[in-house]
Structure 1
Amino acid sequence: MWRGLYTAGAGMITETKRTDTIANNLANANTTGFKRDETISAEFAPMLLKRINDGKDYNDVTSFKGFSVGSGAPTVGTLGLGSYVNEIATDHSQGGFQTTGNPLDLAISGDGYFAVQTPQGVRYTRDGNFYKSATGQIQTVNGQAVLDTQNQPIVIPADATSITVGAKGEIYAGNEQIAQLQFVQFGGDRRAVLKQGDSLYYPQEGAQPQAAAGEIYQGMLENSNTNVVSEMVNLINNYRIYEAGSKAVTTQDTLLDKSVNEVGRV
């Protein structure tokens, strides 16, 4: 019965973390470039149970008409120990596009990230909602400088009348190229970059940036790939699983109460 409590409790903890992940997806349904997360659960390794305290002569309880299973404690079988969160995986599928007409709004189609400068070092993002600062720098909404291929901030000349961005990140002021966006990807491993928060990603140790295979669309933004209806369905289903675990805990607690207070008296 104690194991039943632990198994049900472990399942409830898993579903609580899954709920937190779904809630975060819903909260960022309108965040530019956001990629939804999914909770991947796994089962604890099952434990092999054997009967103990059967006395020194195991043949008394394991033999039948002269047949014995051996001199060790009889095997009962395996028992699952519940589930746990194995990974919070990010779904990197493409989000839809929204046309804004702002020349500094950039959307990525396919694989790729923009590089920005943060207090923690260079980080990567798919949020292309950029602005021109008072000093002419291209920055994110959080004031982080957008970087070129030399890890330097990109500055737009004060006399620039029009800004054009090419499919691979070429930036033109009029007919003159003034910078090249650092537009990179990290191979096919979806775990090469991990979420930091604020639509930023940081590379895993050993992950090296390379030229991105995707394309940049100017005057557009990539929407979140969160499907609100699907997330709400998942949330309802998650609630039902959590409720089932809660009832299992209540049942185990009732059985323990009867064992202690009623069977014990007999």
Structure 2
Amino acid sequence: MIKGIYTAASGMLAESIRTDATANNLANVNTAGFKKDAAVNKSFADMLISRINDGPVQPVGSVGTGAEVDEIVAIHTQGMMRHTGNPLDLAIEGQSYFAVETPAGVRYTRNGAFSRNSLGELTTADGHAVLAENGRLVVNGSSVTVSEEGIVSVDGIEAGRLRLAEFNDEKRLIKEGSSLFQDTGAGQKQATGLVRQGTLEMSNVNAVSEMVNLINGYRAYEVNAKAVQAHDQLLDKAVNEVGKI
């Protein structure tokens, strides 16, 4: 019975983590460039059950011993494109990423809601410099145009080419918050994405689907909680009633 309590409790913990991931997805449903997370569960090793004290030991089957969240992975499918008309809003059609400079090093993002700082440099909403192939990108002018290939022109003069990155294994991109990803060995390759000016890529979160996941997670948590309660009641009877006999 105690083993059953631990098994059900592990399911409660796993569903709690899954629910946290789903809630974070819903909180970022309107965040440009956000990539939703998915919690992947795995079960503990099954335990063999055998008959004892009744002649020769005979296997009668196996029983699960619990579950846990194996990993939380980001889903890198493309979100819906929304036209804004702002010349500093950029989106990528394809699997490429913008490279930005942060205090911790170069990071990558799909959030193209850029602005211009006091030095005329193109930056993210958090003030990180957007990188060109030859360094930071200065867009201090009255007219900024960006081609599909990422070539940035200011007042008709080419200012640089956006540094775009594409990866062989997107699972090796680790989220750091603020729609930033760190490359932990994803392996870069030739970028093939097309830049769309005056457009933002929205989150790839489907609010309705995530609400269904939230309800399913709650129900699974509730089932495990009732299992813990049932085992606790059986344990109470075993100690306080059967023990008297």
- Superposed displacement of residue 119, structure 1: 1.4
Shift of 1:229: 1.1
Unmatched tracts of structure 2, length 5 or more: none
Partner of 1:155: 138
CA shift for structure 1 position 210: 2.7
- State which of 64, 84, 91 in structure 1 corresponds to 2:75: 91
The alignment covers a number of residue pairs equal to: 245
The SS at the match of 1:147 is strand
Counterpart of 1:184? 165
CA distance in 2, matches of 1:115, 1:190: 15
Return the match for 2:202 from 219, 223, 231. Answer: 223
Deviations 1:174-231 (A, max 9, x none): 33211111111112x23031211110000123x3323322111000101111111111
Q: Which has the larger radius of gyration?
A: 1
- SS at structure 1 position matched to 2:24: helix
Q: Give the Å deviation of 1:131.
A: 0.5
Partner SS state of residue 238, structure 2: helix
2: CA distance between counterparts of 1:168 and 1:194? 26
Query: In the alignment, does 2:89 pair up with 1:105?
Result: yes
Within the alignment, does 1:9 sit opposite 2:3 as a pair? Answer: no
Deviation (angstroms), 1:50: 4.2
- Residue 55 of structure 2 corresponds to residue 61 of structure 1: yes
Distance in 1 (alpha carbons) for counterparts of 2:110 and 2:149:
14
Give the match's secondary structure for 2:131.
coil
Question: Contact 1:18 / 1:238 at 8 angstroms: preserved in 2?
Answer: yes
Q: Does 1:197 align with 2:177?
A: yes
Instruction: Give the aligned CA root-mean-square deviation in angstroms.
Output: 1.5
Q: With structure 2 as the length reference, what TM-score do the two structures score?
A: 0.95
Pairing of 1:13-162 with structure 2 (within 5 A): 13-50=13-50, 54=53, 61-62=55-56, 73-150=57-134, 152-157=135-140, 160-162=141-143
Q: Is the 8 A contact 1:168 1:183 kept in 2?
A: no
Q: Distance in 2 between matches of 1:242 and 1:220?
A: 40
Say which structure is richer in strand: 2
TM-score, with structure 1 as normaliser:
0.88
Amino acid at match of 2:157: E
1:98 shift after superposition: 1.2
The sequence identity of aligned pairs, in percent, is: 48
Amino acid at match of 1:61: G
Q: Distance in 2 between matches of 1:228 and 1:202?
A: 26
Aligned equivalents of 1:176, 1:51: Cα separation in 2: 83
Deviations 1:28-83 (A, max 9, x none): 0010000111111111111224456x4xxxxx722xxxxxxxxxx54343221111
Question: Shift of the alpha carbon at 1:90?
Answer: 1.3
CA distance in 2, matches of 1:51, 1:255: 22
2:190 corresponds to which of 205, 208, 211: 211
